[in-house]
Amino acid sequence: MKKINPNLIFDIKTNHEFEDLAFKIFDYQIRKNDIYRKYATLILKDKKPKKICEIPFLPISFFKSQKIISDKKQSQIIFKSSGTEGIRSSHYIADLNLYESVFKKIFISTYGNIESLCIIGLLPSYEENGDSSLIYMVDSLVKMTKNENSGFYNNDFEKLKSIIIKNESKKIKTIVLGVTYALLDFAKKFPMNLEHTTIIETGGMKGKRKELIKEEVHKILCSAFKLKNIHSEYGMTELLSQAYSKKDGVFQTPAWMKILIRDIYDPLSVTQNNSSGAINIIDLANVFSCPFIATNDTGVLISENMFKLNGRISNSDLRGCNLLVE
């Protein structure tokens, strides 16, 4: 396969189709991604992977020091991590239309028609840093709605409160995507009974608050807003795709994304079995960057497309990609 059609990811219906495309993209990466080829060659030592768990996963730290892009493509935009702990990761996006198609398809499949929603961003620290893929995504979703009150209310809790109360009175379905510390601050200042509003926490204290485990954060928010469940978004600068959790901290991945588990003490030992350990991600949408990434996150694989987060590997640098530390 000389060229790769990234839109093939949207045709995946079965595990066989996923694995078939994963190996084609792996071959493409070996030929067209210099950084990945050098790393994979060191790991494989002339062996050829026969299972997807045998494909080498690039350590996520490479995004802090290397320009990860395939086929010497020109980047249309560069997204950067929040840099809470120093050096920021950079993700060179070669196909912005693909990114938009990916996050819109995932969001619509999870939450339905966007036009009828009121979408609110509560992401102050991301907006302050700039170059955020999350800000880009939420801004695009906001622009797709037909509600005049959709938008960012990062430093205006009073206005946010009045908009939510107004929407609740009119039974308008509202979705608030917020960084963890801002949601906690808002909940403390303006607790209220929500019936038509969904809260999606995107993780991250950004050094503003003491780190809390996810369950504790969700308990505080559920109590403040009289909700049964708090939703979560799992995404990171280095990925193109996202996973959402609607309850119990269980995330569901799209058809073109898989979670594998590696042994924390033996990083080359990777399994697809239902087990716990460090998280490896195959994000086939990331074809023009690197689709095979070894993260610093830990979790449990529940089924083929469902997983839970546990925290982070000890001593790995903290960053707000929906990690609430032990």
pLDDT tens-digit series, residues 230-282: 999 999 999 999 999 999 999 999 999 999 999 888 888 888 777 889 999 99
User: Whose structure tokens read 């109590």?
Assistant: 223
Q: How far is CA 221 from CA 1, 6, 184, 322, 324, in A?
A: 49, 39, 7, 16, 15
pLDDT tens-digit series, residues 40-91: 999 999 899 999 999 999 999 999 999 999 988 899 999 998 776 678 899 9
Q: Is the pLDDT of residue 206 over 70?
A: no
pLDDT grade for 2, boundaries at 50, 70 and 90? low
113 alpha carbon, distance to own chain's centre: 21
Q: How far is CA 278 from CA 126, 217, 261, in A?
A: 26, 22, 6
Q: Which of 204, 198, 199, 161 lies closest to 180 in space, CA to CA? A: 204
Domains in the chain, CATH or no CATH each = 98-234 (3.40.50)
User: Whose structure tokens read 């497309």?
Assistant: 305
Number of helical H runs and strand E runs in the chain: 9, 15
pLDDT tens-digit series, residues 124-155: 877 766 789 999 999 999 999 999 999 999 88
170: which residues sit within 8 A by CB, 6+ positions away? none
DSSP letter string, 104-162 = HHHHHHHH--STT-EEEEE-HHHHHH---HHHHHHHHHHHH---TT-EE-TT-HHHHHH
DSSP letter string, 267-319 = EEEEE-SS-EEEEEEEEGGGTTS-SEEEEEEEEEEEETTEEEEEEE-TTSPP-
Q: Is the pLDDT of residue 323 over 60?
A: no
Gyration radius (Cα) of the chain, Å: 20
160 CB-contact burial (10 Å; exposed 0-12 / middle 13-18 / buried 19+): buried
Pairing of strands 306-312, 292-303: antiparallel
Q: Which of 227, 218, 239 lies closest to 81 in space, CA to CA? A: 239
User: Whose structure tokens read 């042994």?
Assistant: 263
DSSP letter string, 214-239 = HHHHHHHHHHHHT-S--EEEE--TT-
Global confidence as pTM: 0.91
